[in-house]
Every structure is written in structure tokens, then in C-alpha cells.
Amino acid sequence: MKKAAGFGSILLALVFSAETTRGDTIVLNGSPQGTRYRLFDMFGGTWQDAEKSSDNTEDDMMCWAAQASNLLAWTGFGDVAGMTTTDQMFQYFQDHWTDKSGNSWYGLDWWFDGTNDGPGGSTWSQVDVPGGGFFLDKDIADYRHWSADKEAAMETVDSYITAGWATGLSILADGGLHAITCWGFNVNPDDPTDYYGIWITDSDDDKDGPGERPDALCYYEVSLHDDAWYLQGYDGGDDWCIREVIGMESVPEPISLYVLLLGGTTLLRRRR
């Protein structure tokens, strides 16, 4: 796997005080403090939330595919074969992969070249219907980034988000793993290493609810201890930590048109 690229001392950011204009649910688990940096505020587009459903028997273990779908939808790489929404992309994964645990690293690779380079065996999701291979002329390694440094996870999130990359998180608790999508973070404006919280979407957050699953952008406070960053109040506790961070670049870079429309007005995000 490719390690995350290094991050510079000055990263471009556009910070807006207005709440997202997307007409879906905002859930605050804790009180957002400090300065907020969110991908869709800085670079345009909207946050994405592929959702599982309690009446669907083919998505129970597919959180990794939901995460991959969110990344593909925001970056534009998912707009293929008539698909325009993250839910359609998530359904495409379900139609071509078995309902088992997996990793969006392999799912994104398959989306590009049509091959599954993930582990074999009955415990890992496998391709059971041929598909993918939408970008045979491109190398996924040019767009995908990854880090498994748990202690530096929030610095990696900061680096990816402020670079304009769609960002996914693998989180860990008591041997269990889950995949969610990160859309931003809050940080102490006087200390760029003091992170307060993250903004996420989660395919499981309304899986057992009645009726249609509403999309939801959720804020969780984070805490650094035992060399890892823990989400506070997630799943009713504080024992889920960030294990891996995956980033996906867009083509073309979404910031180009966005900055042009704003007349080049920017703020600088300075980091140590």
C-alpha cells in the first residue's frame, strides 16, 4: 500500500461560517469549537452519505463500499455508466461484490481497472459479477493516498481535507472495524495540533430506522490518548479510534473553478 504524501507548512483553505445548504440532517455529538475546515465548504460540491438499509440483505458488511461510493461521488470518478448519485454507486458495488468485509482501497482499485487485488477467502468480499474497469487509461496510484499512523491520524485528515481530497476513515474498537467518510474537522486556531472534532457520514447511522434512510452529516469530538485519536460518543461510547485514513483526489482539481468564481479570494491554513 502507498503511504500518505507529506504535507506542507502552508495549505490552501477557504473557510465559511454558514452551515451547509444541503437539505439533510445535521447531527451534533458535542459542541463544535474552534475553526472549522470542511471539504465542501472549501472546494464546492456536497457531502455524500451512501446508506445501508435494514430491509436489504446485500449491504450488511458493505460499509467499505459505501465509503468508496462517497469518495467516488465527490471526486467525480463515480459519474460513469449513467450513475450520478452515491446511492447508485453503492448499489453497483452490491451488484458486483459479495456481502462481506472489505476495504475501499481495493474497491477503488477495482473501479478503475476491473480487478480485485484484495485478500481471497470466504471472510473477505469478492467480486462475483464482473464489472468496474471504468478508467483503464488511468493509474489509481496517481489519485489514491493512505496512512495507517494512528497517532498522526488527525494531521493526516487535516492534510487530505485541506488539499481538497475526499477522505475516508477506518475506525477500530475491540477488534471490530468500520468504514466511515470524513468531510472536515475543527481545530484550535491558536494551536494547529489541537484538534477538537471531525465531520463524518456513516452508512450505519440509520440502518435500523423505519422508512427511507435520511442522509446525515454528523459531528464528533475527538480525543488523543494511548497514541490514537478516539471519537467521543460514537456508537454510545468512546472506544472507537481512527485506524487508517484514505484520500482520493479529483480530476480535474475542484478548487480551480471554485477559486476562479470567488475571484481568487483565499485564506491560508498555516500548520506546523
Q: Residue 21: pLDDT above 90? A: no
pLDDT per position as a tens digit, 260-271:
444 433 334 433
Give 207's pLDDT tier (boundaries 50, 70, 90): low
pLDDT per position as a tens digit, 100-147:
999 999 999 999 999 999 999 999 999 999 999 999 999 999 999 999
- Output the pLDDT for position 65: 98
Cα Dmax for the chain: 54
- Output the pLDDT for position 4: 30
- Coil, strand, or helix at residue 93? helix
Taken in order 184, 189, 195, 197, the sign of the CA dihedral is: negative
Contact between 163 and 223 (Cβ < 8 Å): no
- Output the pLDDT for position 11: 29
